[in-house]
Structure 1
């Protein structure tokens, strides 16, 4: 097995650009060593813990980490790793970097504890990718090499056993389709009827699928996605609260405030004021296979309105 220290010694400086694949250390993601605030990510990440024990908060969800813990964190999510300090290697890429290659990052588990031969293989591949980032990133053949190396890493990870994977059911496919449509449209509409029309099914079908997979209605799933985005922006940016509300489709700040308070349990201002505090544990129910937006507090399921 490649020693974890090898990963840290060969890390290059962070690179930028829409198609760059690079590797950095966890602390390079923020200038604040204490991680007092979450970081809103604009690139896809694989985080491989190599030393220490602690917690990584992904979208306000506490993920315990120790050597061998691997996290997949998506662009648009918020990440915070408060002390005690974790040593970790971060593989980072733009969402378009793998365009045209036969890999789906959504097949990679969001968290896995590596062990045995799987851990050896992943560490070796991350180590080689890290070396080649430093040696070959500036030449066309090298960039192609990095794309294929990252594809191999993601394909290997996609084959690992995961607690979040369950036998497929028709309701799960409907639920996944809804989640994909919500990702595209949550800033424009929160009406389940609009999503049902786009998907060519009924509100009842969507609600039945959401209840089967998550225990929550379709309306709750949509509203929770909007509330999550609001929480991300409140915690990780200094955007005015009224502007955040407008970005999410609320023309009146009071309507946004009522919505957020109903969904989360505190006002937007109170949520922002508490953003430097560690996330409570647990903060959400276990995430179903299609990974809908986590919620910041539990509410009983109700029928879509």
Structure 2
């Protein structure tokens, strides 16, 4: 039994080894350099459980305070940076499809939880056991089912913690959820709300009403903010040329991309990239609604 506030250390990561379907590492293994001088664009889904110290984690450019018992849910495609005061954390990460066939929704876990009391004890115990089994059974095919079910139980426990809100299903929320799914698939190709309305078989007015109901923003704002967020991620976490990033997001002319980004974020792409090695004081891109507001999309 693991007592409250204690957690068995995760095995150190090995960059030369391809990541397992489910594994655990320490927080520093995620960084491209020890000082976290720039955000890291993540390719896997993560749970980050703080075990010691205090600090700030910048998740998609939003500062989240962390102390022992803080748990972060990070989605593949998001950018993470943990600069400034340091904290220790165990990271559970998994590949896309690792939970396929299991009745669990990882998106039901909010971006940040502060665990306390018996809930903290239970989560620490499960994360600790998962870390031990990942190390002990690394590369053993027969252990795949064990690790999958351990992760599923952990995610289910987190989604059922007291205080979590489970809003009643509403027509507007369901429509908003469907729009976000379509935007995730199509934002690189179109920012026209009319195109998404046609794909969903509804009117632009219906989409706008749904977005206003759930987020207070129009459907066009929801679509544009998703594009601006992805642009911010690529500018901050990669060295791709600015013009290429614009093309990847559907802008045929760099000037059009520059005007769009400046309007949404408040600074030019070049200025945003130049500032990437400095900790950000707060949100830069207006955040999309939390994923759990309407069973939101991956990458929210």
With 103-112 and 220-229 compared, the bigger mean Cα shift is at 103-112
CA spacing shift, 1:157–1:36, aligned 2, 3 Å: same
Quote the offset at 1:167 in angstroms: 3.6
2:200 counterpart of 1:199: yes
On the 8 A contact 1:23/1:130 being kept in 2, the answer is yes
1:199-241: per-residue Cα shift (whole Å, max 9, x none)? 1111000001111111110000000000000000000000000
Alignment equivalent of 1:287, drawn from 277, 286, 289: 289
Q: Where do 1:1-305 residues align within 5 Å? A: 1-2=2-3, 4=5, 6-8=7-9, 10-14=10-14, 17=18, 20-161=21-162, 165-283=166-284, 284=286, 287-288=289-290, 289-290=293-294, 291=296
Quote the offset at 1:293 in angstroms: 9.9
Structure 1, unmatched stretches of 5+, are 296-305
| Corresponding residue pairs, total | 294
User: Structure 2 length as normaliser, TM-score?
Assistant: 0.92
Q: Distance in 2 between matches of 1:57 and 1:25?
A: 17
On the 8 A contact 1:132/1:146 being kept in 2, the answer is yes
Across the aligned residues of Structure 1 and Structure 2, the Cα RMSD in angstroms comes to 2.1
CA spacing shift, 1:68–1:6, aligned 2, 3 Å: closer
Q: Distance in 2 between matches of 1:281 and 1:180?
A: 27
CA spacing shift, 1:14–1:154, aligned 2, 3 Å: farther
User: Structure 1 length as normaliser, TM-score?
Assistant: 0.90
On the 8 A contact 2:48/2:73 being kept in 1, the answer is yes
Quote the offset at 1:18 in angstroms: 6.9
Q: Secondary structure at the match of 1:245?
A: helix
With 12-21 and 241-250 compared, the bigger mean Cα shift is at 12-21
CA spacing shift, 1:218–1:162, aligned 2, 3 Å: farther
Q: Distance in 2 between matches of 1:59 and 1:247?
A: 19
Quote the offset at 1:110 in angstroms: 1.5
On the 8 A contact 1:287/1:294 being kept in 2, the answer is no
On the 8 A contact 2:4/2:121 being kept in 1, the answer is no
